[in-house]
């Protein structure tokens, strides 16, 4: 009888914590986020200008609005883009996690949820039609943001952002008919893709069999000494996602590469994505090239974000090959997908919702799409984060290396956030590349320059840029 008491106490404690977290994260204050109508909003390679009266010339895209277009058209484009992102949050009342009494991830699983959203964005690019939007987005009519014009004129986006992407075709009045026809075609195409959309969401279900659900991710995390209820860092989650994808059928057409020590080794990516380069590949019919998600754990400063990296982060989020950044505020994970001026745009996992029963034929997708865009100053961003990219083909990967390399070289800092290097990690004396390294990724300075850095004390000492 005595031996059962601690277990009963744990269950009681878990129930009390669950009840508290359900209250804490089960409601939100409906405050509207304000967007500046004289500055563009960037969302993973797309630019939205909410003021049709102004034309900006110094943007990553040749983005302009015809004088006859309506402001609401551009607002609607932004709304559809944002609402179509997969939103994954805390859930409650799911099956008990193995080795624990927890039936919710409230209060501890936010980084796992942010990682799920990053992976989901990669899968949207991998499985869905180009520029897909959710056909039922109109269901979420309560969109919580407003647009304002500042009292004093400001220069768009502060400092001009270099052009690193292919120009977006601008709309012209003469093409309005063809544009309308294109919208109808895309709408029909997106409707036909809905079964794939639903299947993609079920991959992240809160049931033990779901390949990218919390149960599977927690189980994989045990290999790094993590357990349910622990807090997960962005580097740990990157490796968990890599292993999760490799275990599923999705891994037959998609690979995940995790950079080591802020370095992407091109030859290792090619070896991972092209089975024909692997001498051990016994199946001659194996696919010639796997699409790839590249995850780069980085630390952008010491105890706080180094402001010199802000413009580089903006440029990265402006690329269409970027699938976002998982990070957030200290001990408060968020999924960053864009920015406006000096504010990051994000999806927040800190909202507790009941578990969805995917066995129901017509289960609702509404709780997996967010209608409330939120912003946060760059200055509050935790320096520890993981940046994600997606390349469908080998040509896309080579183009990505070139484009992202240009962005990284544009940084005001002497040392870039991360680098692309020819060759393999083993050529540089790194063992078990992208395997079991779960610590914060150091970016080491030459020995003679280390005195100028900020040194973190403790078991994970390294020099920050």
Return the active site residues: 110, 348, 350
- CA-to-CA distance for 276 and 282, rounded, in angstroms? 9
- CA-to-CA distance for 318 and 366, rounded, in angstroms? 27
For 171-207, b/e burial (b = at least 16 CB within 10 A) is: eeeeeeeeeeeeeeebeeebeebeeebeebbbbbbbb
Angle at 178 between CA 173 and CA 180, to 5 degrees: 85
CB 371 within 8 A of CB 139: no
Residues 6+ apart with CB under 8 A from 234: 111, 114, 115, 297, 326, 327, 333, 384, 385, 386
CB 90 within 8 A of CB 105: yes
- CA-to-CA distance for 454 and 174, rounded, in angstroms? 58
- CA-to-CA distance for 291 and 256, rounded, in angstroms? 9
CB 374 within 8 A of CB 206: no
Closest CA to 117 of 383, 373, 349: 349
Closest CA to 299 of 309, 286, 311: 309
User: CB neighbours (10 Å) of residue 72?
Assistant: 11
Lookup: tokens for 151: 């009292």
- CA-to-CA distance for 342 and 139, rounded, in angstroms? 31
Alpha helices by DSSP H, listed for 348-433, are: 394-409
């Amino acid at each position: 009888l005595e031996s059962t008491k601690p277990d009963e106490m744990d269950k009681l404690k878990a129930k009390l914590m669950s009840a508290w977290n359900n209250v804490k994260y089960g409601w939100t204050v409906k405050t509207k986020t304000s967007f500046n109508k004289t500055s563009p909003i960037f969302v993973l390679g797309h630019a939205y200008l909410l003021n049709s009266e102004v034309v900006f010339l110094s943007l990553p895209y040749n983005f302009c609005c015809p004088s006859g277009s309506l402001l609401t058209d551009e607002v609607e484009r932004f709304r559809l883009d944002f609402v179509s992102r997969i939103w994954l949050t805390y859930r409650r009342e799911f099956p008990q996690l193995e080795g624990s009494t927890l039936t919710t991830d409230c209060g501890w699983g936010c980084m796992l949820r942010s990682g799920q959203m990053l992976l989901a964005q990669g899968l949207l690019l991998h499985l869905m039609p180009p520029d897909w939007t959710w056909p039922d987005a109109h269901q979420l009519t309560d969109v919580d943001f407003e647009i304002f014009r500042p009292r004093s004129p400001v220069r768009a986006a502060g400092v001009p952002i270099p052009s690193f992407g292919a120009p977006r075709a601008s709309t012209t009045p003469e093409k309005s008919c063809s544009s309308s026809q294109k919208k109808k075609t895309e709408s029909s195409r997106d409707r036909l893709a809905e079964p794939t959309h639903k299947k993609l969401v079920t991959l992240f279900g809160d049931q033990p069999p779901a390949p990218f659900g919390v149960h599977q991710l927690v189980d994989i995390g045990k290999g790094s000494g993590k357990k349910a209820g622990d807090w997960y860092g962005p580097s740990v989650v990157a490796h968990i996602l890599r292993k999760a994808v490799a275990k599923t059928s999705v891994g037959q057409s998609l690979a995940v590469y995790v950079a080591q020590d802020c370095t992407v080794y091109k030859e290792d990516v090619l070896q991972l994505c092209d089975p024909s380069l692997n001498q051990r590949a016994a199946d001659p019919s194996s696919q010639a090239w796997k699409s790839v998600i590249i995850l780069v754990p980085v630390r952008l400063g010491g105890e706080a974000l180094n402001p010199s990296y802000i413009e580089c982060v903006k440029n990265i989020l402006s690329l269409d090959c970027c699938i976002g950044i998982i990070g957030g505020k200290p001990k408060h994970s968020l999924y960053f997908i864009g920015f406006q001026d000096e504010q990051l745009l994000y999806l927040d996992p800190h909202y507790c919702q009941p578990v969805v029963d995917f066995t129901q034929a017509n289960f609702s997708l509404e709780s997996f799409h967010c209608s409330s865009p939120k912003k946060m100053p760059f200055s509050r961003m935790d320096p520890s984060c993981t940046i994600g990219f997606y390349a469908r083909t080998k040509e896309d990967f080579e183009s990505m290396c070139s484009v992202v390399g240009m962005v990284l070289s544009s940084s005001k800092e002497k040392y870039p956030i991360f680098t692309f290097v020819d060759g393999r990690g083993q050529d540089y004396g790194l063992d078990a590349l992208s395997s079991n390294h779960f610590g914060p990724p150091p970016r080491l300075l030459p020995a003679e320059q280390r005195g100028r850095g900020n040194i973190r004390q403790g078991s994970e000492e390294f020099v920050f840029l």
